Amino acid sequence: MLKPEQARVAVVGLGYVGLPLAAAFGKLMPTVGFDINPARVDELRAGRDCTLEVEPGALAEATQLSYSSESGDIAACNVFIVAVPTPVDRFNRPDLGPLEAACGLVGEVLGAGDVVIFESTVYPGVTEDVCVPMLESVSGLRCNRDFYAGYSPERVNPGDKQHRLTNILKVTSGSTPEAADFVDALYRKIITAGTHRVSSIRVAEAAKVIENTQRDVNIALVNELALIFNRIGIDTREVLEAAGTKWNFLPFRPGLVGGHCLGVDPYYLTHKAQEIGYHPEVILAGRRINDSMGSYVAGQVFKLMNRAQLAVCGSRVLVMGLAFKEDCPDLRNTRVIDVIRELQAYRATVDVYDPWVDPAQAQREYGIEPVAALQPGGYDAIVLAVAHRQFRELGADGVRAFGKPGSVVYDVKGILPPGAADGCL
């Protein structure tokens, strides 16, 4: 069995999860960061990270880290950490395509004694029932005889500058007790917060998928409460602040639930549940509520415009923010797009402004060309969709300045003072 000091690490997938891992290991041991996108590799070689997850200084400190989009460059490695996306398809079914492609790539260079560790979010059983057989088939080797497997779920929170890779407790597991010891010891070299070793890979997989499922369900609850309180005519934020004075009340807030985790991971768990004959009620109900919030927001904007005697058809609407969360360029699975599409369906002309996102990526993924700058006095309605720092700093007067006289403002995230917007969740 390998010892951690013998590790030559390859990190497969250099996105929000993989790059921080590669940078951390690259400070201590020989590490190759691999990505199938040559443009991403070129960017990192130039010391830039478009995800903004790793600062240029941290990249420079990873003196043992190299980057490549050529699979031959990871052949000399003996530890392979797979950190590729695990999305869902348009029917919300798990799409294991990127994970299977990574297994095929690793299997081609896998050698005796090597260890393959997975960080991608999956349902319990994927590592041992899908990934390991594929590694065996491609490599001709046998797991737990010729090579070993591990699972250590990622806990990245894009845009969060406080909770970073190294100061978040890391769950670890392995395909044998010896493999689990190795995986745990390897991660302890970079994780200052420590590790939590579990008894099996399936336990680690399950722990990861329920972390985001729990949060998704809790947000669904407060979203449903917001729907109820809106009909009653009371301020949801004030209700939640009052309830929050109790010591054990959980401080969740209503909003659009997007991103690669909360809006995706629960479907992995429900897929597995249905596969074994159990129909999950609460999880899927929460998903239905959260997936409907974009349409609800657009409907509320329409109502405000009607009350202000503003015609929706032919109107100009400004949506401020496209990223799935504040102070982050991540566009994956953003539910702001649901608001935009609903507004457009009623023949409103929608401009989108987001100083954080890459316009080319917005065009490529959603067919949206964000405006580069805003001119005052041009809009019938303004939707504050994302709580970016720049928007918070504008204040109510700054936001309203972009609207025509008599325009309406809808504050999805509640970033303006109470009463400053015409409507909010």
d(CA 198, CA 222): 32
The predicted pLDDT at position 261 comes to 87
State residue 354's pLDDT score.
97
Q: How many CB atoms are located within 10 Å of the residue 419 CB? A: 9
In single-letter form, the type of residue at position 177 comes to P
Judge contact between 15 and 34, C-beta under 8 A: no
The pTM of this model reads: 0.93
Contact 284, 234 (CB under 8 A): no
Residue 37 tokens, joined = 């996108």
pLDDT of residue 260: 85
Residue 59: what pLDDT? 95
Sort strands 316-320 and 65-68 into parallel, antiparallel or unpaired.
unpaired
Q: pLDDT tens across 279-331, in order?
A: 999 999 999 999 999 999 999 999 999 999 999 999 999 999 999 999 999 99
Give one DSSP letter per residue of 273-291, joined into a string: HHHTT---SHHHHHHHHHH
To the nearest 5 percent, what fractions of the chain are helix, strand and coil? 40, 15, 45
Find the DSSP H helices in 244-314.
265-275, 282-291, 293-307
Please identify which of the residues 261, 313, 328, 424 carries the catalytic annotation.
261
Q: What is the pLDDT of residue 295?
A: 96
Half-sphere exposure of 293 (CA within 13 A, CB side): 30
Catalytic-residue membership of 77: no
pLDDT along the chain (425 residues), means of 10: 94 96 97 97 96 93 97 96 95 95 97 97 97 98 98 91 92 98 98 97 97 96 96 94 96 92 93 96 97 96 96 95 95 96 96 96 95 92 96 95 96 93 93
pLDDT of 32 reads 98
Radius of gyration of the chain (CA): 23
- Residue 273: the pLDDT is 96
Amino acid in position 262: L
Rounded Cα gap, residues 37 and 13, in angstroms: 9
Of 307, 310, 402, 321, nearest in space to 354 by CA: 321
Tens of pLDDT, residues 43-57: 999 999 999 999 999
HSE-up of residue 268 (Cα within 13 Å, Cβ side): 28
CB 256 within 8 A of CB 294: yes
